[in-house]
Amino acid sequence: MERTLVSEHRLVSDYSMKGRIKNVVIAWVVFFVLLGVTRIPAVQDAMTQFSRSVTVDWVTGAVDFIINGFWFLAIFVLIGTVVTLIRKQTFDTIRVYDTGIGFLDSKSGEERYADHSQVKFSHGQMQESFYVESKAAGVKMRNYGWGEFAQPDVLRNNLERYGNWGV
pLDDT tens digits for 27-38?
999 999 999 999
Q: How far apart, in whole angstroms, are the C-alpha atoms of residue 165 and residue 79?
A: 31
- Domains (range + CATH), the chain: 5-13+90-162 (2.30.29), 18-86 (no CATH)
Q: How confident is the model at residue 66 (pLDDT cuts 50, 70, 90)?
A: very high
Segment 105-117 mean pLDDT = 91
Q: How far apart, in whole angstroms, are the C-alpha atoms of residue 54 and residue 109?
A: 61
DSSP 8-state symbol, 12: -
Q: What is the pTM of this model?
A: 0.70
pLDDT at 167: 55
Q: How far apart, in whole angstroms, are the C-alpha atoms of residue 62 and residue 80?
A: 23
DSSP 8-state symbol, 10: E
Residue in 147, 13, 155 with CA at minimum distance from that of residue 95: 155
pLDDT averaged over the chain? 91
Q: How far apart, in whole angstroms, are the C-alpha atoms of residue 163 and residue 120?
A: 8
Question: Sheet holding 139-145: strands in order across?
Answer: 120-123, 129-134, 139-145
Q: What is the 3-state secondary structure (H, E, C) of 94-158?
A: EEEECCEEEEEECCCCEEEEEEHHHCEEEECHHHCEEEEEECCCCEEEEEEEHHHECCHHHHHHH
